[in-house]
Every structure is written in C-alpha cells, then in structure tokens.
Amino acid sequence: MGKERISATIDPATKRAIDSIMKKGNYRNKAHLIEEAIKILIKKEKGR
C-alpha cells in the first residue's frame, strides 16, 4: 500500500512544537512524526 499526500495548515505554535520534536532526531521527517502522532490519536479515539 502506497502513501497519499495531504496538505494541512497549522498555527505557528504547533509548527514550533514540531520543529522542537524534530531536533531530537527520533523521526525521519515531519511526515513520519505526524503519521506517528495520528496513530496515537486513532488508538486514543478507539478507546473512547
């Protein structure tokens, strides 16, 4: 299964938070970080 491109507009505070997390080097790129964050949100939503 391939990847699909999406686009999103975020506020400056969220962008700064992403940049801060990226500096720690735990994610390949911003798309990877965002995809992992969404997986966490999906798990949380399923538990409701």
> Tens digit of pLDDT for each residue in 10-43?
999 999 999 999 999 999 999 999 999 999 999 9
pLDDT for residue 19: 97
Maximum C-alpha span of the chain = 33
Distances (CA, A) of 5 to 8, 31, 35, 46: 10, 10, 12, 24
Give the global pTM.
0.82
pLDDT for residue 7: 95
pLDDT for residue 8: 95
The radius of gyration computed from the CA coordinates of the chain, to the nearest angstrom, equals 12
Residue 1 has pLDDT above 90, yes or no: no
pLDDT for residue 48: 87
- Looking at residue 28, the DSSP 8-state letter turns out to be S
Q: Where are the domains of the chain?
A: 12-46
